[in-house]
Amino acid sequence: MSESAAEKLQTVKTPEGTFTLRLILDDLGDIYPGMIRYTVEVLRGTETVYTYAINTYESAPERSLFDTRKAAEIVFARLAHDVASRPHLYTHPRVFTRPLPGTGTADVVILQGSPRRFGNSAKIASWCDDEAVRAGLTSRIFSLQEMDIRPCIGCYVCYDQGYCPVEDDMPPIIRALEAASIVVVCTPVYTGTVPAPLKAAIDRCQWLHAREKILGKELHARGLLVAVAGRRGADPFVCTTRVVGMFMENLGIRPADPVLIGDLDRARDVETIAGVEYSVRAALSALLEPRNEG
Ligand SMILES: Cc1cc2nc3c(=O)[nH]c(=O)nc-3n(C[C@H](O)[C@H](O)[C@H](O)COP(=O)(O)O)c2cc1C
């Protein structure tokens, strides 16, 4: 966030005390080109009791009748009227953002992308989980197929106050990723890329990107991709490594070399391929050792 300036101030005197309304402009151009966020704050004394925010990416930029600044000014005027006529509603902070869960964090967070509960990716996830626990760390596997994860709706509301308005099972994932020191993605290749539930979760992590940028919640995690594919060779993994690489890059997760396991149409079970379990465990334990942080 580069700039923050109070554009407009208004004082409202009521029997419940003196309120101040502020319209603040934040230039978020270093996150996305031309992104401006307008925030209207209502303060009772020095305490913020209500916040409304809107940004220029929430509406179509070209030929749109919707003017973000005007919308913020309308909210400002309506709030000033509301505070003056119903001040008792603003005596305590009114929080509309759903907080992230306070529990459920772990040192190692594993995103398991396959719908097959006992398939190859699930097995690999359990190896990683086991390796973390052996090293004395906590670990948590998210089996994405079994969760309610809806696609990102591209509303950009997460850049207002650092939360996503879509109601589903994403909050514990965001909370866990935010606190993790290692993030592992275990996934099959589906039609050249990652399966839909994993892609949905990755897209929804825009919310985490927003939290990092808006709230200054930087991630310092290391990342590991372990992918399996039916076909042989490097070709099936091209898109998957790119998608997961971009996911990690967006969030500031530093990736290790991925472990890519092909030829499963023939082998069927990853456990039957000599040396694979060892490679997966070794790749994870290399991340667990602080001297290999580099
Ligand atoms: C819908 C679907 C699409 C797939 N697409 C590909 C693909 O594009 N390339 C490939 O090599 N394997 C592909 N596969 C094979 C899987 O990657 C492979 O069977 C993998 O071992 C499944 O992992 P899992 O046991 O963790 O579910 C596909 C499988 C399914 C069910």
* Closest protein CA for atom 15 of ligand 1: 230
* Closest protein CA for atom 29 of ligand 1: 190
pLDDT computed for residue 215 by the predictor: 81
Digit-by-digit pLDDT tens for the chain (294 residues) are 445 678 899 999 999 999 999 999 999 999 999 999 999 999 999 999 999 999 999 876 666 667 899 999 999 999 999 999 999 999 988 766 678 898 999 999 999 999 999 999 999 999 999 999 999 999 999 999 999 999 999 999 999 888 899 999 999 999 999 999 999 999 999 999 999 999 999 999 999 999 998 888 888 999 999 999 999 999 999 999 999 999 999 999 999 999 999 999 999 999 999 999 999 999 999 998 865 454
Write down the residue that tokens 């190692």 correspond to: 108
Sign of the Cα torsion 225, 226, 229, 232 reads positive
Tokens for 56, please give them: 């220029």
pLDDT computed for residue 95 by the predictor: 67
CA distance 186 to 128: 9
CA distance 144 to 286: 26
Cα(186) to ligand 1 centroid in Å equals 13
Assign 67 to helix, strand or coil: coil
Which segments of 35-154 are extended strands (E)?
36-44, 47-55, 108-112, 139-143
Atom of ligand 1 nearest to the CA of 229: 17
DSSP character for 263?
A: -
Give, for ligand 1, the residue of 141, 184, 190, 263 to mutate: max count of ligand atoms closer than 8 Å to Cβ: 190
Closest CA to 229 of 263, 268, 185, 195: 263
Q: Are the CB atoms for 201 and 144 separated by under 8 Å?
A: yes
Q: Is the CB of 119 under 6 A from ligand 1?
A: yes
Q: Is the CB of 231 under 6 A from ligand 1?
A: yes
Distances from the Cα of 278 to the Cαs of 255, 267, 282, in angstroms? Answer: 19, 17, 6
Q: Are the CB atoms for 132 and 284 separated by under 8 Å?
A: yes
Tokens for 180, please give them: 């993790």
108-112 and 47-55 strand pairing: unpaired
pLDDT computed for residue 292 by the predictor: 47
Write down the residue that tokens 């998957």 correspond to: 240
Q: Is the CB of 229 under 6 A from ligand 1?
A: yes
Q: Is the CB of 28 under 6 A from ligand 1?
A: no
Q: Identify the structural domains of the chain with CATH numbers, from first to last.
A: 3-90 (no CATH), 108-292 (3.40.50.360)
Atom of ligand 1 nearest to the CA of 192: 8
